[in-house]
Chain A
């Protein structure tokens, strides 16, 4: 009887140990992990930087009769293809991408572009990203038309911390819209149009 009780208690303890071992990894976190608050106004400000960057890079994609690899100098890095037969065609690919570097607030803002432009006037589609310190956002370029040195139509959609902003181009201006916020930038000098 005593041996039977001993076996019973040993079995119960063994089960308890197995359960304990299974639960032993279940520690809760005791370290703060605060959320960074991101508002529509924050994303709107970030979008202004993207509008400026696109207006800088698209005019660099000039003309060439046959497909050739073109490199850009400071503040750009990287290269892209362009040709003009039968119509204008410019594009980046996996091995040839464009980057734009801008110094702001003692930080280096890095834009990366993966784009393709077709036709005359050039209509550009593609995607890109902006990194500034620990800030990172992605954007999609949708049917942006370039005439001369300016985007004149088309949109860019920006995803920052799961908030979506839209930049709409119109004859040398860029209008940023997110939620109820809207503001317009003059792309010729980056100033805010009231």
Chain B
């Protein structure tokens, strides 16, 4: 490998690891995410993890391009670091999940409600909620709480779901480019170990229409991200982008059809027995619009905003030839 790229790769990976380590503050409690999940069942976990599930999926589909221009006959390489952040609203700091349950599982024979149905309410801080609060699981019979159990605290109080990754793009032959994202398995503190890989390809459509006053391309991207022992996410995006270059600046915009999902697997440690929990949640964001800009000052600086279910921000530092 070219010595320039070898050193750039080391710098970018190190920068990504440092960015993630700085971006993931230590949780207030002593428990990591896997240990917190072991204390709750599926209903509680679905609400508790919601902003993490959807935020990471949306982050993966962020920052997939920084220009729509893909040369037809000029080989190029770009290597650098992309960082993404999805904003968590105040409504995503707490959750409430309500299920109908058989009260026989929660009250003794002869007690009011035994054999009838009631409401089981899981509520409290989400994984990114207030660290001073603890969730609860409460069973109601005709509006009267007949059973209460303590849930868990949040993992860490954050206003953004963060992600950073090195990225390598090679292209310029026949208007095609390929992009690789990769992070080695690394400790994310109380979140557990994180590993990340993604692959994308794009085609410069404007090569077919050279008289267009702007550049346009279409592309796709597929990614997988694993967090700790319990969470596996996958994401895909199909996008169209347009850009206009001015000397050192490139302005771009795009629209994407995207999807993501997270598989959650852990063992719930109950009072009497352990239960294997396995469920899959599909991401809520099906599409987005993006606007951004790239400055080419020898190294490229890139910033963009994405609009969908969550507002996402991305910044990149790229080296290329």
Chain A residues close to B by CB (< 8 Å)? 6, 9-10, 13, 16-17, 20, 23-39, 41-46, 49, 104-107, 132-135, 160-161
Contact = CB atoms under 8 A, between A and B. Distances in A.
Given A36-B98, A46-B144, A24 B251 contact: no
B145 A107 contact: yes
Interface string B241-253: 0001011000100
Interface in B140-157: 140-148
Q: How large is the interface on B (under 10, 10 to 19, 20 to 34, 35 or more residues)?
A: 35 or more
Given A13-B293, A36-B98, A30 B54 contact: yes
Interface string B178-214: 0000000000000000000000000000000000000
A31 B146 contact: no
A106 B106 CA distance: 12
B314 to A, nearest CB: 12
Interface string B276-310: 00000000100000010100000000000101011
Interface in B75-130: 86-89, 91-92, 94-98, 107, 111, 119, 121, 123, 126
A29 B138 CA distance: 24
Interface stretch (B12-20, B45-53, B223-231, B265-273): B45-53
A36 B121 contact: yes
A9 B146 contact: no
B148 A106 contact: yes
A105 B51 contact: no
A133 B145 contact: yes
B100 to A, nearest CB: 9
A141 B148 CA distance: 30
Interface of B: 46-47, 50-51, 54-55, 86-89, 91-92, 94-98, 107, 111, 119, 121, 123, 126, 136, 138, 140-148, 244, 246-247, 251, 284, 291, 293, 305, 307, 309-311, 313
Contacts of B87: 24-25, 27
Contacts of A132: 144-145
B310 A35 contact: no
B92 A30 contact: yes
B146 A32 contact: no
Contacts of A17: 291
Given A9-B246, A24-B305, A31 B144 contact: no
Contacts of B96: 32-34, 36
